[in-house]
Structure 1
Amino acid sequence: MAIFLTGSREKSVRKFTDGTARNFTDRVAEEEPLEIRIEHRGRSHVIAVTMRTPGADVDLATGFLFTEGLLPPGQAVGGGAREQANRVSLSWPLAAPPDLRRIERNGYTSSSCGVCGKTSLDLVFQAIPFPQHPGRTSVAIPDLLTLPDRLRQAQQLFAATGGIHAAGLFTPAGQLLHFAEDVGRHNALDKLIGHYYRRDELPLYDRVLLLSGRASFELLQKAAMAGIPFVASVGAPSSLAVELAEDQGITLCGFLCPDGFNCYTHPERVRPS
């Protein structure tokens, strides 16, 4: 009997193994467009269209608006959200309309491009709403090494499809607090941050973010917006991601696996045990 799993779809395929072929039912991750709108004084404004995996769409829209610098922290959004097929409309909580010039896009984003078009770190620095974490969150190496397995065990969509990204938020001791999955890396992180934004729990000081893929500039930008002081990824970081992490006081670790990792910035937060 077929098992329904939100965000995935069954597909009949022809499987070739060792020179033989057989019919096979595979499960693939869904990728569909989401139109993000805001309602302001009786008018509806299309903010962006992004390719995403359906699920947690209000979190995604909220996180997107916040991490793009359109929505300041501490605003009540999502309570009056209207969801239709591949569309989310949020009531804009501020008297003034959003400054759409902050989004340097053409109104369309793919599932992987994130902040394509931003050419200067200055735009990011101006938008970050929280001061750098005043404490010194530290993570023990044994706890850090366990994070990829803990996140993977929670990823039902990845287990079913093998084609999904995830962003997971942990305590420094390695407890998984919340995670989000999506075909797009930046969508997964927007869903995660939007989840906490809607609960008025930003900034995410004293937390560790794990990325299931590479650590790109746009993902570090979103982490900085949320006040996250420690970011680890199972893949490589980009040069601009390293530069942003160094400037914003974020510890950035890459190539995290059971055997070890590389620490690119602020290694003082990593302790032996």
Structure 2
Amino acid sequence: MTEVRVRKVSTTGGVNEVSDVTAREEPLEIRVEGRSVAVVMRTPGHDEELAAGFLVSEGVVQRPRDILEVSQCPSTNNKHGNIVDVLLGGAVVNWDSLTRHVFSASSCGLCGKTSIESVFQQFPAVKGDWQVSAKRIAELPDKLRAAQETFSKTGGLHASGLFDLEGNLLVLREDVGRHNALDKILGYALQRDLLPLDRHILLVSGRVSFEIIQKALAAGIPLLAAISAPSSLAVDFAQEANQTLIGFLRGETMNVYTHPRRVLN
């Protein structure tokens, strides 16, 4: 967090100079074997998880042994020194595909069925026919919010939380970018050899786009819930991927868009 001075203005005429805090946002360059593959705007912290999770979601790595080392690299050409370099442990990289996808900003240039089919070339549909009660799912947002220390102070961060089937919060990550928050979760899971996350629930604080569903599929997550709305392509993707997608999870209600069999009434 960064402390700033602001002028607090009231419509009743009051003006005060007060201290406030903002969420930090800085660039991070991700390199693989010394080669730059992405620059992301993120909240500093858990950068090694972010880099590892990014490579999970891109289909480059799947197991802890696929990564030998993730190192922070200071650079005179980067005033923040925000560079991480990933040394792989034998994983094969399609450099043309990786850099083209990353620098075209996610699914830019792809649409609809083409996007979905391209992802399924890397990741199979999820498994997991377990069920969890709607009541237990409805309790997750309060648990997520209670653990969001930085959000409660700044109001400027997205969050991703990974839960077990009993509703226990296993890990929470916050970031100015909702994709980054999820990548940090995936990196956490990779480093602890938890993948695939086929007996887990993912809760995200923002809306659900195609890319969020893609990242959840890369981790093998069967049930994804969101406090906000999904996009139409996210719904199509979740249906094809055998994923249960829940949106508008607020209070005691939720919308189950796909594969409702995993949600017990």
* SS of match in other structure, 2:156: coil
> Deviation at 1:9?
0.6
Does residue 227 of the first structure (1) align with residue 220 of the second (2)? Answer: yes
Residue 92 of structure 1 aligns with an amino acid whose one-letter code is L
* SS of match in other structure, 2:141: helix
* SS of match in other structure, 1:75: helix
Residue 65 of structure 1 aligns with an amino acid whose one-letter code is L
Matches within 5 A, 1:6-85: 8-17=1-10, 18-39=12-33, 44-77=34-67, 79-84=69-74, 85=81
What is the match of residue 136 of structure 2?
143
Query: Within 1, Cα distance between the matches of 2:255 and 2:91?
Result: 46
Task: Give a deviation string over 1:55-103, Cα, whole Å, max 9, x none.
Answer: 0001001111110123344534264523432110111222645433144
> Deviation at 1:38?
1.5
The alignment-based identity, stated in percent, is: 44
What is the match of residue 93 of structure 1?
89
Q: TM-score, normalised by structure 1?
A: 0.88
What is the match of residue 197 of structure 1?
190
Segments of 5+ residues of structure 2 without an aligned counterpart are 75-80
Matches within 5 A, 1:112-127: 114-119=106-111, 120-127=115-122
Q: Is the 8 A contact 1:215 1:237 kept in 2?
A: yes
Judged with a 3 Å threshold, the aligned counterparts in structure 2 of structure 1 residues 95 and 31 are, in CA distance, closer, same or farther, namely: closer
Does residue 240 of the first structure (1) align with residue 236 of the second (2)? Answer: no
What is the match of residue 5 of structure 1?
none
Segments of 5+ residues of structure 1 without an aligned counterpart are 1-7
Does residue 188 of the first structure (1) align with residue 181 of the second (2)? Answer: yes
Q: Is the 8 A contact 2:213 2:234 kept in 1?
A: yes
Q: TM-score, normalised by structure 2?
A: 0.90
Residue 57 of structure 2 aligns with an amino acid whose one-letter code is T
Residue 151 of structure 1 aligns with an amino acid whose one-letter code is L
Task: Give a deviation string over 1:123-182, Cα, whole Å, max 9, x none.
Answer: 111111x5521x312121111111111001101110110010000001122110111110
* SS of match in other structure, 2:221: coil
Query: Within 1, Cα distance between the matches of 2:188 and 2:95?
Result: 23
Does residue 251 of the first structure (1) align with residue 244 of the second (2)? Answer: yes
Residue 27 of structure 1 aligns with an amino acid whose one-letter code is V
What is the match of residue 153 of structure 1?
146
Judged with a 3 Å threshold, the aligned counterparts in structure 2 of structure 1 residues 47 and 136 are, in CA distance, closer, same or farther, namely: same
Judged with a 3 Å threshold, the aligned counterparts in structure 2 of structure 1 residues 56 and 146 are, in CA distance, closer, same or farther, namely: same
> Deviation at 1:260?
0.4
Judged with a 3 Å threshold, the aligned counterparts in structure 2 of structure 1 residues 95 and 190 are, in CA distance, closer, same or farther, namely: closer
